[in-house]
Amino acid sequence: MKKVNLVHRKSSLVPELKTSRIPGFYRLPVERRLAYLARTFKLSEQQISMLRNGNALRVEHAVNMVENSIGVFGLPLGLGLNFIVDGREHLVPMAVEEASIIAAASKAALLIRKGGGFYTKVDDPVMIGQIQVLDLPDPKKSADAVLANKQRIIDAANQSAIRMRKRGGGVFDIEARILDEKSKVGPMLAVHLLYDVCEAMGANAVNYACESAGPIIEEITGGRVNLRILSNLADRRVARAEFNLPVEYLATKNMSGLEVARRMVEASEFARIDPYRAATCNKGIFNGVCAAAVALGQDWRAIEAGGHAYAARNGRYSSLTSYDYEDNCLKGRIELPMQVGWVGGAVNSHPGVKLLREISGVRNSRQLAGLLVSVGLGQNFTANLALATDGIQKGHMALHARSVAISVGVPANQVEDVSQEMIRRGEVKVAVAEEIYRRLRQLSDNGCVEEDLPVKSFAHGKVVLFGEHATVYNYPGITSTIDKGLTVRISHDPDGPRFVYPHFKQVFPVPKSEQDIRLFSKAADYALEHYGLQHEQIAIKIESDLIPGMGLGSSAAFSVGLCSALRKYKHLDQERKWDTGIFEDAQRLEAIFHGNPSGMDTATVLSEGVLWFRKGPPREILPIRVPTPAAGLLCIVEPGARTIELVERVQRNREHDRETVDGILEEIGNITVDAGIALGIGDMQETGRLMYRNHEQLARLGVSTAALDEAVEFLLDRDGVLGAKMTGGGGGGAVVALVKPDTQYYLAQDLAEHFPMVIPFELGAAT
């Protein structure tokens, strides 16, 4: 058959992968890895959740995929990195339980990309269907008759391939083989249908064709047709990959690159001539091929069966790879049947496969065959390289150490510490892991596990006192910082820069959309680049007492806190005001979370007090100096809705009844103006009365809830409460109360029994 080079077809739907080289990827927390994928491939939070939680395949899918379904069984899913195949960058999804496989594939691809990566040739997608014919008085005459009636048989076979024929596929040729070697049932004829399956793996199509052609073959031969089935020795559908790596890249501390190459060739010859070695050699190839095939929805059993049969095609089982030294390069080659499909089967029925093939960068079955065979060659290369130099166990030690640490119950955030200590000692044992973990727990209990960090920055959260939703339509708003906030710590990290997934205070299950790691990670990456720290050896840790989705300004606090910490790290100007450069820096980060933020949250966090805000133009940001002591309580009531959803609801209502909605918004704006005056002269009684009037208008606007209304009424019945209202976007969330300062402490204690969380704060305390 004709051999063809892969042709790359770009997809307009999936972003093109710029590089599969991601240094330090294995050191990143899982959420940071997911954030990278989300940004690179524009994945939704639902798709990320499928990867994170392993719920891409649910039982309702499984029940239609297999008989007697009782559930879904999971495998660890990882990414093979660094792959360049025919000049294209690829990430390789791999589902496998063995610890070293993905690391070995990535290491191989990293070395081989220095020589230009892998180059492949893939045969046309031709599968073989077999029809067994018995009870033949003259097998030779029957074989001749089959060939003489080739077109009749092809036409009969293609009756079941109408759609495939429209795509240019179907049965296109016939072969006849006489088999009589030591047969218990006498000689037989094997008729082969050569079937172009296009983008499919083709098993079902070939089987249908064999069954359709069976009666015609019986008629032509006068024999009896028994089996009609495809062959998984797909030797007309072979994929080949090779690489050329200058030997200088093979050198180790104790061995020249030329010596390593020579040993690789020796290992290759061992596997070529000895089936005992060849079996282990080929098993290593399928470690990689099958892991990737499973993740990408392929029939890995068929691929492996065909590969092993192909390894014995010359009468002796041999290696599927070979290595030679040519032109000062190590040349690696692999050749094996690759029966893969880009349509049909699990590709269409498994939601996770659809997602993973987007990540892989593969666009058709030819590219898939080339990628899988390259993974197999890379996997084999790494194994042989380890065997020919340091031995196989040294490379496995780190991964084995992690497995041992996990087996004794070490938490995920301490697995690396325990495993590295075992490796340092040279004792990767369960007892040693238990001893190290016990010591770490003791240090933690004594408060000695974490040293003081060199850089620390705190940013306040905020609460809206007046003007929610009206600010969208250029009416003023009044906000205040609260005592709760977010801390950013920067420490030295030799594997940095790293962003550690933030920890948020939670009183309800927080929607993933409100703590989307993609956004935090993207903001951290932007800040590092903005300040020229993208190669700095640092780790960024976030600790937050702010509850996401409650209108407390967690993203603004994150943006201000991160910019402040990085500026402090670089010894830049530390003045934190809304009219300094840090405001613009933090606003750029806020834009990652909210698209086109007004600047109110950022300005409030920077003001550390009470603020008058109008988005403009021109933008108005004015601190309100409260002349008398004023205290507030923020009470968390119920899970909140997304602000954007409430803003859109108001917009839809305004389109339906503009006069009414505009009247409400104008009234909120007037209330806010009056509140600004009341706060400015220290009239807390009037400020409290205006808060309730503001809440009434927000309820008319349709953004309050029954629980928020009830909470406001409950607060107004308490002694010492001057006023109360919902705060933030609405649809749930929190209420804010203005209270007499001398009652704040006792009210907070009392209200803590009625609300999931109560946060006291001072108005203008930092002004």
d(CA 646, CA 441): 46
CB neighbours of 123 closer than 8 A, spacing ≥ 6?
1, 2, 3, 4, 236, 237, 238, 239
Q: Is 683 helix (H, G, I), strand (E, B) or coil?
A: coil
Whole-angstrom Cα distance, residue 680 to residue 638?
Answer: 32
pLDDT digits (tens, 9 = 90+) for 626-658: 998 899 999 999 887 777 788 889 999 999 999
Closest CA to 215 of 191, 234, 199, 233: 191
Q: How far apart are CA 701 and CA 654, in angstroms?
A: 10
Catalytic annotation present for 138: no
pLDDT in tens, 568-589: 888 887 676 666 688 899 999 9
- Which of these is catalytic: 283, 354, 512, 594? 283
Q: Which of 396, 460, 462, 484 is catalytic?
A: 396
Catalytic residue among 89, 299, 525, 590: 299
Burial class (CB in 10 A: 0-12, 13-18, 19+), 482: buried
Q: List the catalytic residue out of 98, 573, 575, 648.
A: 98
Give the angle 410-414-417 at the CA atoms, nearest 5°: 115
The mean per-residue pLDDT over the stretch 578-605 comes to 83
Report the pLDDT averaged over residues 291-315: 94
% the chain with pLDDT above 70: 89
- At residue 66, the pLDDT reads 73
Q: Are 523 and 557 in contact (CB under 8 A)?
A: no
Q: pTM of the entire structure?
A: 0.61
Q: How far lies 657's CA from each of 652, 670, 701, 702, in Å?
A: 9, 20, 11, 13
460 part of the active site: no
Which residues have a Cβ under 8 Å from the Cβ of 151 and sit 6 or more positions away? none
Mean pLDDT of 412-436: 78
Among candidate residues 63, 61, 93, the one with its CA nearest the CA of residue 76: 93
What is the mean predicted confidence (pLDDT) over 363-377? 96
Question: Do 129 and 231 meet the contact criterion of CB atoms below 8 Å apart?
Answer: yes
> Residue 151: its pLDDT value, please?
96
d(CA 208, CA 190): 17
- Say how many residues make up the chain: 767
First and final CA of the chain: distance in angstroms? Answer: 81
Give the pairing type, strands 119-123 and 126-134: unpaired
- Range scoring the smallest mean pLDDT among 130-134, 475-479, 599-603: 599-603
DSSP assignment letter at 503: B
Please tell me the number of Cα atoms within 13 Å of 83 on its side-chain side. Answer: 36
* Mean pLDDT of the residues in the chain: 86
Residue 572: predicted pLDDT: 82
Active site residue 283: yes
Tell which wins on pLDDT, 591 or 501: 591
Mean pLDDT of 55-80: 77
Known catalytic residue at 620: no
